[in-house]
Amino acid sequence: MDKIEQVLRQGLQKRLKNRVLEKGPDCPRDEELSLYMEKKLNKDRKEAIEKHLSDCSYCLDLVVVAQDALTTLKKTFDYKSLLLKQKWLILCLITFVLSFLFPRYFLQFLVATLILGIKWAVGPEGAKNLVMIFRSMHAHEEAQSKDSEFKVRR
């Protein structure tokens, strides 16, 4: 960290640390801050909030922590939706593993795997994956055939 950054950081700390746990009389309403975060304020109201935030650590803290919480929330949802998208593939793999763990029901599990596999393949995510696999196989075959033609000519 360079020295300039260090003095700036300290200068900002001096200005901001005084009011960590104290809401001032000129602090905006909770909703005004949330509307600022949602980008729903017009230019004047936005500038007024930014003017306030630039010197009030209480409100700036609220915005920063709220943003942090919302980012975490979004990430969890993304993770969940990814799992949900691939649910048939996951179930298919689980039944496949189970077929080996319970040899008595091997065939039943295998049939379940097959059904779930088909379900995955005809679903939008599976179809997309399959198209990509076939395309790359096709490209690979073409490349190979060109290669062999080249060798024959030589």
**Interaction between residue 144 and another protein (CB under 8 A):** no
Q: How far is the CB of 12 from another protein (least distance, A)?
A: 5
Give the number of residues in contact with another protein, rule: CB under 8 A: 47
Question: Using CB under 8 A as the criterion, what x/- string covers residues 9-48 for binding another protein?
Answer: xxxxxxxxx--xx-x------xx-xxx-xxxx------x-
Q: Tokens for 43, please give them.
A: 């230019």
**Interaction between residue 63 and another protein (CB under 8 A):** yes
Q: Tell me the HSE value of 6 on the side-chain side, using a 13 A CA sphere.
A: 3
**Burial label, 137 (beta-carbon count in 10 A; 0-12, 13-18, 19+):** exposed
Q: How far is the CB of 97 from another protein (least distance, A)?
A: 31
**Interaction between residue 54 and another protein (CB under 8 A):** yes
Provide CB contacts within 8 A for 48, sequence distance 6+.
Answer: 28
**Burial label, 122 (beta-carbon count in 10 A; 0-12, 13-18, 19+):** exposed
Name residues contacting another protein, limited to 73-112 (CB under 8 A).
Answer: 73
Amino acid at site 75: K
Query: Using CB under 8 A as the criterion, which residues of the chain lie in contact with another protein when the complex forms?
Result: 2-17, 20-21, 23, 30-31, 33-35, 37-40, 47, 50-51, 53-55, 60-70, 72-73
